[in-house]
Structure 1
Amino acid sequence: MAPSGPRAQRNTRNPSAPTKPGGRSGGIKKRGAGGPVRTDRDGDLDMDAPAAKGGAGRGNRPPNTNGTSAPPTGPRRSTRSAPAGGRAPKPTTRAADMVKKIVESGGSGNLSSRIAAGRDTSSRHTRSRPVNGVDRVTLVVRGLKESKASSNDGGGLRDLLIFLERKAATVGKLHRTVKINKSTMKGDLVYITANKEDAEEIKKINGFEFASARLSIEELPEGTSPGLSEQSQSLKDQLTTVLGQRYNQESKLMNLSDLGQDPILQQMGMFNQATPEKVFRALMVILEDNFKTAQAKREGIHSVSLAGNNIDDVHQIMSLADALPDLLNLDLSRNMFKDAKALRKWSHRLRKLEALYLSDNPVGTDASAMAEITKLFPRLQNLSGVQVRTKEEVEAASRAPRVFPIPQFGTDFRDLNRVGEGFVTEFFALYDTDRQTLAAKYYDEQSTFSFSVMTSSAHIPNAPPLTWSSYIRLSRNHVRITHPPSRYQRLFVGGPLVQDAWSKLPLTRHPSLTVEFDKYLIDCHPMSGLADPTGSELGGVEGMIITMHGEFEDQDPETKVTSKRSFSRTFVIGPGFPGRNPIRVVSDLLQLRAYSPLPPQTGVPEGIQTSAAPVANAPINPVATQEQMAIELSKQTGMTLDYSKMCLDAAQYNLERALATFNEMRAQLPAEAFAQPIA
C-alpha cells in the first residue's frame, strides 16, 4: 500500500474488474504483476487520496472546503502514476535516512534517541515529552575528538561532562552545582542540554583547554535539531511548512487529510523516498517540537483530520496518540478501516476523545462494530454523526467507582486437612484482640511482613475522605517508595519486628469468618518448594498460599474516628521449626485501600457456600474439586480429560506434581492422549 506519488487513474484493487459506479473498487493488487500485496516492516500508510481540506472546532466534524460537514460523494479514485511495468520507484537511501534522523532526533524513535534529545520517557505508553521544555537550552561542544581524552572509555564523553560541570561552577564562583541534564555525542560534536541558568555558566568556558584541546561552546540555534545535516534540516523546515499551512489556529484544527496530494510533499517526492508511516512520524515529531508542553498541545489542538489517507489500521498512525493523547475530535473518514479490530490498539489511548468520524470506510455502519468502537473510547459522544452517549452519561460514568473485579466463581479453597481454614479463622480473631500472641505463635525469625497503602484506589462515590496518617509512614508502596533504603526499612523480618510494626497500626475489627463469611473472598492452594526449617529436605516442603479479599473497621488512635476500609492479604504458610508451633508464616503481604464492595460471586461450585455461614459448614465437594483440577491440567497440557485424571490420580491429586510427571513422561504418551484436548 505504500504510495509512490500521484498515479494515473486506475483500479488499484482488481485491475480486471470494472470500477463500481458511485463506489470503490474491490480487492488489493500488488505493485506490478498480480499477487498478494507486500508491506514493509514498518507498515505502509497509503496517504494518496483526493484532497479535501477542512476545519473543526471542539466537538464538531471538521468541515469540507465548501463549508459543509457532509462527506464527499462519488467514487473514490487513486491519482497515482507508476512507470512502465507498474512498479513504483524504490525509496532513495539518502532521503529515507534524513527522515529517520528527524524522527530519532525529535524523540519518537528509539529509547536512546529520546534520552539523548533530553526527553522524559517515564510516562505511560512510552509517550515522549520535553524535559524542562520552556527553560531547556541545548549547547554544541567541539574539541573532544582532538583531546587526549578521546581515547578513554566512551570516547571521553564522561570526562568532558565532569570537566564542564566542575569548571562552570568554579569560573562563575557559584555556591551550587552546575548540572548537565542530557548529553549525546554525534561525530565530532557533543550536544548537551541544561537549564538556562546553568547553560549560561557553561558558555563561559568557551575557549578553555580540556585535555590539550581547545573547546568551542555555542548555543544550538532555535529550530534546529542536534545531529541533523544541512539536507536533513532543510527537509525538517519543509515539513514544518506543511504543518504550518495545515494548522487552523482559530478552530484549533490540524488538517492532515489527503497528504498524498499535498503539493509540497509531492514536490519533495517524500512518498517515493521514505515509507509513509515514517513521514507521518516525522510530522508528529515536528508538531511536538512546536508545542513544547502537554498543556500547549491541549490548548492548541482540539481536532485532527486524517481523512482520505487510505489508512487501514491505527498501528500506522500510532504516533498520533503519542503526540496528542488529549485529542477531542478525530476525522478518519474516507479511509480503509474494515472493522473494529483495526482500532483496538487505541483501546487505552485517546481517553478524552469526544467525536470520531468513520464515514466512507469499509466498516460502514455495522452495528456490532460501532458498539465495540464506542467501548474503546469512554468519553466518546459522537460516532460518525450519531450520538452514542450524552454528556450527562459521560459525567456520570466518570464519577462512578472504578472497580475492575476479577471474575469470581466463589471461594476456591483447596485445603489440606483443614489447616488453612483453622489458620485464617484464628488469625483474624487474634489480630483484632491480641496481636502480640499472634505474632509470637506464627512468626519466627525468618518470617516477613509488609503492607502498602493504595490511596488512589476505587471507592464509593461521595464517601467521606479517609485519613491514612496512621498507616502511611510504614507503607511500602513501591510506586511511591522508590529509594532502596526506604524500601528495606519497611520490610519487617522476624517476629519482634512484626510485633513492633503491628503495635503502631490502629486497632481493627474484621467481620467474623464464622458468621459473615460472605464479606470475604478467599483462595487457598497447596504450594510446594518452601524452604525446610530443619534443612533436611533439599527440594523443599509442602505449604499453602492463601489470598483473602475483605473489609474491616479501624479507629484512629488520635481522633477516635471509626472508618471502614478494604484489604487484600496474602499469606504463605509452611511447617514450623521442630519444637515450636507446627505452622509458621513464611510471608505476609497486606494491601490497604478505600472501602469498595466485593464483586458478586457467580458460578459457585457445588458444595461451596457464600452466604453467611460458618467456614466449618462449607466443605468442598471432593469430586467437584478433582474435576476442576483435571480440567485445569487438561488446559495446561492438552491431554484428554481421562488421561488428565489418570495423571492426577498417580500424583495423588497434587497439581504441581502431576505437571512435573507429565513433563517427564510426555514423549512416552500415546497419540490418543492428545486426541481431544479441553478447550
Structure 2
Amino acid sequence: MAPMGPKKGSTRNAQSNTGKPNSRGGISKRRGAGPLKIDRDGDLNMDASANASHPNSKRPNNNSTPSGPATRTSSRNPRPTAKAQQIIQRALNGDASQISSRRVSRRADTEPLVTLKVEGLKASKAASNQGGGVRELLTFIERKAKSPGQITRPIKIRKSQMSGDFVYITASKEDAPQILKLNNFLFAGATLRITEAPEGIPNRDSTPLSSTALEIKEQLRSVLSTRYDVNAKLLNLSTLGEDPQLNQMGFFRGEATPEKMFRALMAVCDGLFKTAQAKRDAIVSISLAGNNVNDVLQIMSLTDTFPDVVNLDLSRNQFKDLKALQKWRHRLRSLQTLLLNENPIEVANPNYKAEMITWFPKLLNLSGTQVRTPEQVAAAEAASRPTPIPQSGPDFRDINRVGEGFITEFLPLYDTNRHNLAAKYYDEQSTFSIAVNTQSPHAPDVPLPTWGAYIRFSRNHMKINHPPARHQRLFTGVNQIQQFWRQLPPTQHPNLTAQLDKYIVDCHPIHGLADPVGHNPLGVDGMIITIHGEFDDQELGTTKTAKRSFSRTFVLGPGAPGRNPIRVVSDMLSVKAFKNLPTSAPTQTTTINDQQKEQMLLELSKQTGMTPEFSRLCLDGANWNFDQALASFHEKKAQIPREAFITAV
C-alpha cells in the first residue's frame, strides 16, 4: 500500500537517502514489530500485552538436519504443539470447517461471504454422533448443494459454528444460493431450515478485553464519532494520516501498519452496527479521499463492513489503472456515486469510465459525470428479473365440448367429493403428482402461506433429483390417488362459470395416446387441458386458511369399455404463493379492420376450400386469429359438412 501524504507542515522527503519509500504518515505494509500487535485475522490484538514475546527469544528450529547436534530421545510420547491442540479441540467441538478452512487459498479470504443459519441438526439422528453431527451436516450440505442446479464445481463451506439450536455457516455469494435450495430437505430424519443470517456468526469469544484493549477500542470509537455526520449519514475517513488522535496513538510512527488500523476501524464499525440493515440506515456515504491508496485490496474490509454503501469518494488517491480497482468488480452492487478525481488513472487510462460502468450496475455518477439515469437502472433491473410467460388469452380448441364439460365438473367435485371424482375419471393406469414452488413471485399484500401439508409430497424436479424419490412421489392408480387426496387440505375454488376472470384455461387436441383396449398400435386421439387459477385451502385439523395459486395440466383420453368414456391419463398439479393472473392481451377483434378481415377470409377459403360463409364462422370462433382458425379447421375437418366446401372433398 502506498504511504499516505505527509502530515500538515511536514517538509520531510517522501524517500530516504537509501531510496526506500518512507512509510510515515500513510497506509503502508508493515515490515517489523511495532508498538501495536495485530492478530492473525488482521485486526487489532486487543490483548497484545499478554501475548508479547521477548524480542531476544528464539523459536526452536523444527527443521534441523541430521548433521545438526544430536537430540535427546525420550520414552514419553512427544507433547503436541499448541497449534495441534487447537486443531484437535476444534475437531472435538465439531467445528470441522475451521480445520479445512486453513487450507483455503488467500484469495478466498477476499471473496464476499454470506452467512447462513441452519436449524434442524439437534432434532436429527446425527446429533448423537461424536461432535454433535456437525461434520456430517456440513458434508451433507456440500454434497447435496451440487445437485439441484446440476452444479459441476464443488460447493464449499468456509466456516461453521454451532450456537444453540443453529449451525451458522459462511459460503461465497456464488455458493450461498445453491445451499439455500436445500431448505426443507431431510437430513438424518429431520427437516432442515436454512435461511440467511444478516447478523453474521455470533461471537463465541466471551473473554473480557484487557484495560489496554478497551482503551484502544474507545479511542477508535472516538475517532469515528468525530468523523461521522449523522444528518448526511456520511462517514468521513479522508486524510487519515493527518488525524491528530490517530497520530497520537502511534499508527503512523516507525513501521506501524495503517492498513491494519483501517481494518480495526471497520471492526469497530461492525460492533457499532449489529445488522446489515442498521448499516444501511446509518451510513449512506463514505469518503476515503486523500489517503494515497493505490490498490483497493488495502481497503477491502470496507466492502465487507459496508457492502451497500451508496456514495463513495476515492478522489486524491494513487489508483493508476483498472487492475488496482478490479477486486471490487463484483462488490458494492448498490453504489450510485463513485468519485475518482485526481487519481493517476484519469491520465493513464482516459477510457476507464466505460469499463467501470459495467462493474457497478446501479452507478449513476462517475467522477462528476452522469453515466446513467435512474430510469435506465430501473429498466435494467426489470430486464434482469425473470418474467412470467406472457399470456395472450386462452387457446381453447375443444372438440364436441368435451374439455368444457370435464373442467366445469372437475373443480366443484374436487372441492366436495374427491373420492367419487377419482372413481369416475381415473383408472389403474392414471397418474397424479404435485409440485410445490416456494420461490415464485407472490402478491405483496397477501401473507406467504406455509407448505407443511404439501412439501413432503412435492415432486418438484428442481428439488427432487434422485429417481427413487421421484418415483415415490408419483401416484399411480385410482386407489393410490384416492388415498393421497384424503391427505391434502380441503379446498374451495372460485366458481368457474361465474368468475371466469380468475382462470386461464387452454385446451387443444393431442394425438398418439395409448389405446386402453390395445387395438390401435398407433395410439388414439385425446386432449390436453391446462388451467391456471387460485383456491383457498384449510390446514388439516385447524381453522387456518390460506390463498394459493395453482396450475394444473390434464391429459384426457378415451376410457376403457364399460367405464366412463373419458379418463384422466395424467394429472399434474403445481401450487405456489398467491399472485393475480396476468392481464390477458386484448383480442384481435378490436384491432382488425374490415379490409383485413376480408383478406383473411379470402386466404382461409383458398387454403381450406371452404365457402366464405363457413370461413367467416371459423374465424369468428377463433377471434379472428388466422393461425388458430386454420389449426381448428384441420382438427375438425372430418366433422365439417360437405356443403361447407366449394368443391367436394
TM-score bracket, normalised by the shorter chain, equals: 0.3 to 0.5
Q: Which has the larger radius of gyration?
A: 2
What TM-score do you get using the length of structure 1 for normalisation? 0.41
What TM-score do you get using the length of structure 2 for normalisation? 0.42
